[in-house]
Structure 1
Amino acid sequence: MENSAEVQRPTEAKPHIEKNKPQKSKKRSSDSPYLFMLPYAALFTLLIILPVVVAVALSFTYYNTVQFPEFVAFKNFIDLFTGDSIFLQNAITNTILYSVIVGPIGYMLAFFLAWMLSQVPHKIRTIYTVIIYSPSVTGPIMMAVVWRILFSGDEKGYLNYWLMEWNIIKEPLQFLQSPDLLVIIMIFIGLWGSMGVGFLAMLAGLLNIDRTMYEAAYIDGIRNRWQEIFYITIPSMKPQMLFGAVMAIIGTFNAADIASTLSGGNPPPQYAGWLIVDHANDFGFIRYEMGYASAVTVVLLVIVILFNRISYKLFGEKD
């Protein structure tokens, strides 16, 4: 009997075979996140990375969309910063002025309006959210129709009509043909339409803050709403604040055709309100100098990256 028991001992190796099965399933489960990420990675590469790589490559060439691109090294960038006075004096200056004013003010205004809406009941909040968000969607249509009528340079323009009725002016002002006034109107319209996706993200972040944190903060010594905002609200919604900052930067630096649409001419009078994207569109789609236009977009990309780094320093998590 003892010999037969010893002979049957090799059959105890079965549990060793069964231990290998969970390892296969574990390996398969570790690969599943990459399969879910594959569609996004493919679309991101196709729609974002590939166009950026192509633009950088074309910026070192002369390409007129007909002939094969001719490599010219840094000639486009040298011409851009040494011989293109419109780019240096108008495009860059107007873009930075527009972005520095519309970006931060629109960003703070978006947070302030989102914070106010978070204090009101749900039904009223929904109505006001739609009203505030709608200009960012209907901006181009409203700009082409409503704003041009409002700032029209004849007596039929609403603003000129009111100013003349109140005896403030004696003759109509050419709002959309004056370079100084056109830039001011462009900045005003930019602020009017700045409540976009960043505003919605901030509102969502405000509504998802745990209310018990405020109760605990008041027990610990917070005395007013300003301390509540700076010590509880903003630190609790840093991801939404960062998203809003990035969207504000991208939206302001990618703005285009505002001055041309308002003034009815391309380019606008004395290139007032002429932005970097306008300059790129002019060389790319009107003059068909795609290499030079690509150099303009590469410069814009570098500027946007620098400003995005600043926003990450302010609202990004150290972890």
Structure 2
Amino acid sequence: MSRMLTEVIKYRKSYYFLAPFLLLFALFTIIPVGISVFLSFTYYNIVEAPRWIGWSNYRLLFVDDNVFLTAVANTLKFAFVTGPVGYIMSFLLAWFISQIPQKYRFFYTLCFYTPAITSSVAISVVWLYLFSGDRYGLINYWLMNMGFLREPYLWLQNIDTIMPVLIIVSLWMNMGIGFLAFLAGLQNVSRDLYEAGAIDGVKYRWQQLWYITIPSVKPQLLFGAVLQVVGALQVADISMALVGMPSPLYAGHTMMTHLFDYAFIRFEMGYAAAIAVVLFMFMVGLNRLLFKWLGSGD
């Protein structure tokens, strides 16, 4: 402790510059997380003061709350599909765009990034029209005209198709900050590396991608992976906008929608805090794996 204090005093000017960030980080991240952990061990309904109940919320979550277990299964299923697939799609699209002439890149970047900056409610209007369960839904209309369906299919009411539809919509909306990070990293790879690779026998684009490009953008790959994991585990708006709250037989229910239900509909904040803590632990665990796989010794 004394050694750390000595280091702080020695480099105090550096810590002065860090102080605004550390203060804001503690105020808006560390303290709220600590309060959530505390509230997860209490019964708190906003009206009354928090009352300590120990591990009761967690016991209820994992033993008695079957809907939460369904939400965990749906969230993991959603994350293990949209996470890797969306991550690979973002990187490959960024790589393809980086190969085209500079004057056309802005147009393609805008096209792929637009879904990420558009409101999920506005997007749901388009997808509700596509997957509408009557004959006027665009997909039903096409399939019926082509003879694949005899009657309209209830895409957003059938429990077998709810999750696939949510995954498709999420993948379409997936071109976010990670996509831009990949594109920025690809554009900053030194051309000298490609010239050196050509001398060493790297001839094809896929060889350049594997041996030169991917190792050069490893920090961006890690950043995009973290964002992808966080986004996949926090899905809620798409589910509530497309299939409602709650979804039919909880087929589209996720951990975030479960949290939203208890926090802002039932106002059981202690129980909602327990859900948030479990979700936070999922995120921390998966991010630690990502840092182990994609992180460097630095």
Report TM bin, short chain.
over 0.9
- Confirm whether residue 310 of structure 1 aligns to residue 297 of structure 2: no
In structure 2, how many angstroms separate the alpha carbons of the residues matched to 1:266 and 1:241?
A: 34
Cα offsets for 1:104-142 (capped at 9, x unmatched): 100001110011111111221011001101111115034
Q: CA deviation at 1:29?
A: 11
Aligned to 1:108: 88
CA separation in 2, counterparts of 1:298 and 1:31? 34
**SS of aligned partner of 1:183:** helix
The equivalent of 1:250 in structure 2 is 230
Task: Give 1:28 deviation, angstroms.
Answer: 11
Are 1:176 and 2:156 matched, yes or no?
Answer: yes
Task: Write the mapping of 1:71-110 to structure 2, written as runs, cut at 5 A.
Answer: 71-88=52-69, 90-110=70-90
Q: Could you tell me whether the CA contact under 8 Å between 2:81 and 2:167 is conserved in 1? A: yes
Which of residues 25, 29, 53 is equivalent to 1:44?
A: 25
C-alpha distance in structure 2 between counterparts of 1:139 and 1:175, whole Å: 22
How much has 1:289 moved relative to structure 2?
Answer: 0.8
Distance 1:139 1:106, change over 3 A: farther
2:87–2:228 Cα contact (<8 Å) kept: yes
Moved more, 164-173 or 92-101: 164-173
Distance 1:42 1:306 in 2: 26
Report which stretch shifted further, 32-41 or 60-69. Answer: 32-41
**Where do 5+ consecutive residues of structure 2 fail to align?**
1-7
CA contact (8 A) 1:139 1:193 kept: no
CA separation in 2, counterparts of 1:174 and 1:143? 19
Letter paired with 1:317: S
Q: Which residue of 1 aligns with 2:111?
A: 131
Identity %: 46
* Alignment gaps of 5+ in structure 1: 1-26
8 Å contact 2:120–2:237 — kept in the other structure? no
What SS does structure 1 have at the residue aligned with 2:133?
A: coil
- Aligned residue type for 1:68: A
* Deviation per residue, 1:64-120 (Å, 9 max, x gap): 1111101011111111100000111x2001100000000110000111001111111
Superposed CA RMSD: 1.6
Q: Which runs of 4+ in 1 moved over 4 A?
A: 27-30
> Does 1:279 find its partner at 2:250?
no
Deviation at 1:275, TM superposition (A): 0.5
- What SS does the aligned partner of 1:97 have? helix
Equivalents in 2 of 1:29, 1:71: separation in Å?
43
* Distance across 2 between alignment mates of 1:33 and 1:125: 40
Question: Any idea what SS the aligned residue of 2:114 has?
Answer: helix
SS at match of 1:118: helix
Distance in structure 1 (CA, Å) of the matches to 2:228 and 2:201:
34
**TM-score between the two structures when normalised by the length of structure 1:** 0.88
What one-letter code is carried by the residue in structure 2 that aligns with 1:301? F
Report how far residue 231 of structure 1 moved.
Answer: 1.6
Moved more, 285-294 or 223-232: 223-232
Aligned partner of 1:206 in structure 2 is 186
Number of aligned residues: 291
Secondary structure of the corresponding residue to residue 171 of structure 1: coil
Tell me, yes or no, if the aligned pair for 1:259 and 1:272 is still in contact at 8 Å: no
Question: Distance in 2 between the 1:239 and 1:124 partners?
Answer: 26
State the one-letter code of the partner of 1:307: L
- Aligned mate of 1:62, from 43, 59, 65: 43
Q: TM-score when scaled to structure 2?
A: 0.94
- CA drift at 1:222: 2.0
Give the AA of the match of 1:315.
L
| Counterpart amino acid of residue 181 in structure 1 | T
Distance 2:61 2:12 in 1: 48
The equivalences for 1:283-302 within 5 A come to 283-302=262-281
Matched-pair contact (CA < 8 Å) for 2:121–2:241: no
2:248 matched to which residue of 1?
269
Q: Distance in 1 between matches of 2:100 and 2:15?
A: 42
Q: Distance in 2 between matches of 1:192 and 1:217?
A: 35
Give a deviation string over 1:142-197, Cα, whole Å, max 9, x none: 43210001111112111111112222211111111111111110000011011100
Question: For residue 136 of structure 2, what is the amino acid of its counterpart?
Answer: K
- The more displaced of 197-206 and 215-224 is 215-224
The equivalent of 2:4 in structure 1 is: none
- Match 1:34 to one of 8, 12, 15: 15
CA contact (8 A) 1:222 1:228 kept: yes
User: What SS does structure 2 have at the residue aligned with 1:317?
Assistant: coil
